[in-house]
């Protein structure tokens, strides 16, 4: 049961993250295909959803925490 709740929370966090990132990015920016921080490929869905994204989800999380 705890696992299901954790998954739901992760998903909610992810959607919140998307909303926050979308607000921060200029509409004309182009998404990176590979993460700037770890060089992992960024999923196409993320590239399309977050216009101008530069990092994968986990590195973006790290960046947010460093601020």
Residue closer to Zn ion (CB basis): 4 or 30: 30
**Cα 47 to chain centroid, rounded:** 9
Count CB atoms within 10 A of the CB of residue 3: 7
Residue closer to Zn ion (CB basis): 22 or 61: 61
* Residue 60: CB minimum distance to Zn ion, A: 8
* Residue 43: CB minimum distance to Zn ion, A: 11
Burial class (CB in 10 A: 0-12, 13-18, 19+), 52: middle
* Residue 24: CB minimum distance to Zn ion, A: 17
């Amino acid at each position: 049961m705890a696992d299901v709740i954790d998954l739901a929370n992760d998903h909610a966090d992810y959607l919140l993250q998307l909303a926050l990132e979308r607000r921060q990015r200029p509409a004309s920016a182009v998404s990176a295909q590979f993460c700037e921080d770890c060089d992992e490929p960024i999923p196409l869905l993320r590239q399309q959803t977050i216009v101008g994204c530069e990092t994968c989800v986990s590195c973006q999380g790290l960046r947010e925490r460093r601020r």
